[in-house]
Chains A and B, each alone.
Chain A
Amino acid sequence: MRRPPKPGHSNGNGDAPAALENGDAPSPVTDNPGKRLTTGAKDAPADLVGWVDERMGATSFLTAMLMRKVPKGTNWFYTLGSATLFAFVVQAITGVFLAMYYTPSPVEAYASITHLTNDVFLGEFVRGMHKWGASVMVILVFVHMARTFFFGAYKYPRELNWVIGVVLLILTMVMGFTGYLLPFDQRSYWATIVGVNINGTGPIVGPYLSDFLRAGPEFGATTLSRFYAIHMLLVPGAIIAMIGAHLYLVVKMGTTAPPWMRADLKPKDARREPVEAIADGSANGASENGNAS
């Protein structure tokens, strides 16, 4: 039985090393290390890159990722995803340095931010980058999502990547919400009160959820450190894991072509349509991963 080609199985690169998941792709470097050693060991590695690659065998992975082909017609709209990733990196880096000066206690938080903003060299600049970087990231997430929606890029075979993207959107909003309380000014405080109470309006579990978020029935001594831990440990960890999965799927499935571009399939191809597969109707083509062959 002839099956439809597996999504992501071929990266359209002709004889370049095959897709990511095939560790057994024919590659002069990784395929048979023992053989290489017998021939190559007598020479000291020529350079650092060669030395690392001899031990990591990352070349095939990097070639598959970087040299994969991007369909003709991809335009500036296709940079929105990487721009969002870059905004996240800005947030991560500036966040690490802000954490060096910040004290997550309701008594000292405001003063530590004042100190950070006014006394520390470049303090206001770095805090400004984190503050406005958050807005930029939220905008980019939404624009990236709108692009995916209007280009129909969430359709087969990329459904799962859309779901992961929506989870990333939610996590980004959670970052926005938990980050808000940390400066501990009026806006932070009252927005957090309202936000926690919004969670509390969920029937039955809502009241317990807001107790959990506040660590008690009122805004208390550990509420701020709870938000701090969520903001800088829990959610960023989840976001990094999700971005990893998101990018893996992008590389595996390939970047979409613009929806207005159509390929002219040769009549010969059209004739070769597998009639059995249609009659059979089973979705085995979609459910198998790319390992078979």
Chain B
Amino acid sequence: MKPVGYFEGESMTRRRVFTLAGGALGGLAGAGIILPALGFAVAPIFDQPEEDWQPVGPLDDFVPETYVPRVITIVQGIGEAGKTTVYVRRGSTDLGEDPDSYVAISTRCAHLGCPVRFVQAAGNFICPCHGGVYGFQGEVIGGPPVRPLDRFQTRVTDDLVEIGPRYSVTSQLEPVRARDPGEFTGGVWEYLYPPRPSTAAPPSS
């Protein structure tokens, strides 16, 4: 049985060498283009975040009973597009929190990232997209969100409240590394939605 394209006097060894060498060299040339391009596109996944703390106001601005909205910058250098709103309040002893601590809740819905809003009258956070509802501490009380609202680390420096990196919480409000919306936290989910190198370490609780 002669292969397709056989011609008179063709040596099969020579043909095989040429087939292999042609394939290998072509593959090498292709890899030489594809691999650097792919690495270039994928690199941002492994960028380490810089820890950035921003003051949002004096201690007296914040009370335990309600949230105050504050705008912070989470991505530098892109103007308005790099900002986000956080809801800040002082720790509440009624809820078993340290009265000298501050709680900063992210406005990104934990379902798919729509902008949630704190409704004073109901004491709830409400998402306008798919119907997520969160309680006063950001815990899920209705709708499809997969985990409580994310939080930002807080600290006090020179009588100013400062906001740091974002982190996610489990349904028991234990801090874990920041996840994207739509990703579960806690238990076996920590392996199904692994933490990414591009996120900051969570605060030790």
Direct contact of A and B (CB under 8 A): yes
Residues of A at the B interface (CB closer than 8 Å) are 105-107, 184, 189-190, 193-194, 196-198, 200-201, 203-204, 206-208, 210-212, 214-222
Whether B41 and A194, one on each chain, are in contact in the complex, defined by CB atoms closer than 8 angstroms, is no
B196: chain A residues at CB < 8 Å are 207-208, 211, 217
Residues 126-156 (chain B) with a chain A CB within 8 angstroms: 129
Whether A197 and B112, one on each chain, are in contact in the complex, defined by CB atoms closer than 8 angstroms, is yes
Given known A106-B79, A193-B114, contact A201–B183 (CB-CB < 8 A): yes
A210: chain B residues at CB < 8 Å are 180
B27: chain A residues at CB < 8 Å are none
A215: chain B residues at CB < 8 Å are 44
Whether B182 and A217, one on each chain, are in contact in the complex, defined by CB atoms closer than 8 angstroms, is no
* Pick from A107, A189, A207: contact of B194, CB under 8 Å: A207
B108: chain A residues at CB < 8 Å are 193
Instruction: Give the complex CA separation of A197 and B127 in angstroms.
Output: 15
14 A-B pairs with CB atoms under 8 Å apart are A107-B78, A190-B113, A196-B180, A197-B180, A197-B181, A198-B112, A200-B183, A203-B192, A207-B196, A211-B44, A212-B41, A216-B44, A217-B178, A220-B75
A106: chain B residues at CB < 8 Å are 78-79, 81-82
B49: chain A residues at CB < 8 Å are 217
A206: chain B residues at CB < 8 Å are 183, 193
Known: A107-B79, A197-B112. 15 other contacts (CB 8 A): A106-B79, A197-B113, A200-B182, A200-B183, A201-B182, A204-B194, A206-B183, A206-B193, A207-B180, A207-B196, A208-B196, A212-B44, A212-B45, A217-B178, A221-B78
Which residue of chain A is the closest to B84 with respect to CB atoms? A218
Whether A211 and B45, one on each chain, are in contact in the complex, defined by CB atoms closer than 8 angstroms, is yes
Instruction: Give the complex CA separation of A106 and B76 in angstroms.
Output: 12
B47: chain A residues at CB < 8 Å are 216
Which 9 pairs from chain A and chain B are nearest by CB?
Answer: A106-B81, A201-B182, A200-B180, A217-B198, A215-B44, A203-B192, A106-B78, A193-B113, A211-B45
Judged by a CB distance under 8 angstroms, whether B42 is at the interface is yes
**Total A-B residue contacts, Cβ distance less than 8 Å:** 86
For the complex, count residues of B whose C-beta is within 8 A of A: 32
Which residue of chain A is the closest to B182 with respect to CB atoms? A201
Instruction: Give the complex CA separation of A92 and B167 in angstroms.
Output: 42
A204: chain B residues at CB < 8 Å are 192-194
Whether A207 and B42, one on each chain, are in contact in the complex, defined by CB atoms closer than 8 angstroms, is no
A183 to chain B, nearest CB (A): 13
Instruction: Give the complex CA separation of A203 and B193 in angstroms.
Output: 6
A122 to chain B, nearest CB (A): 29
Whether B112 and A194, one on each chain, are in contact in the complex, defined by CB atoms closer than 8 angstroms, is yes
Whether B182 and A197, one on each chain, are in contact in the complex, defined by CB atoms closer than 8 angstroms, is yes
B79: chain A residues at CB < 8 Å are 106-107
Contact with A along B145-172 (1 / 0, CB 8 A): 0000000000000000000000000000
Instruction: Give the complex CA separation of A222 and B77 in angstroms.
Output: 11
Which residue of chain B is the closest to A214 with respect to CB atoms? B44
B78: chain A residues at CB < 8 Å are 105-107, 220-221
Judged by a CB distance under 8 angstroms, whether B179 is at the interface is yes
A109 to chain B, nearest CB (A): 9
Whether A190 and B44, one on each chain, are in contact in the complex, defined by CB atoms closer than 8 angstroms, is no
Instruction: Give the complex CA separation of A9 and B158 in angstroms.
Output: 84
B198: chain A residues at CB < 8 Å are 211, 216-217
Whether A208 and B45, one on each chain, are in contact in the complex, defined by CB atoms closer than 8 angstroms, is yes
Which residue of chain A is the closest to B108 with respect to CB atoms? A193
Instruction: Give the complex CA separation of A203 and B196 in angstroms.
Output: 13
Instruction: Give the complex CA separation of A207 and B183 in angstroms.
Output: 8
B194: chain A residues at CB < 8 Å are 204, 207
Contact with A along B36-59 (1 / 0, CB 8 A): 000001101101010000000000
A190: chain B residues at CB < 8 Å are 113-115
Which residue of chain A is the closest to B189 with respect to CB atoms? A203
B85: chain A residues at CB < 8 Å are none
Whether B181 and A217, one on each chain, are in contact in the complex, defined by CB atoms closer than 8 angstroms, is no
B192: chain A residues at CB < 8 Å are 203-204
Judged by a CB distance under 8 angstroms, whether B199 is at the interface is yes
Judged by a CB distance under 8 angstroms, whether B201 is at the interface is no
Judged by a CB distance under 8 angstroms, whether B74 is at the interface is yes
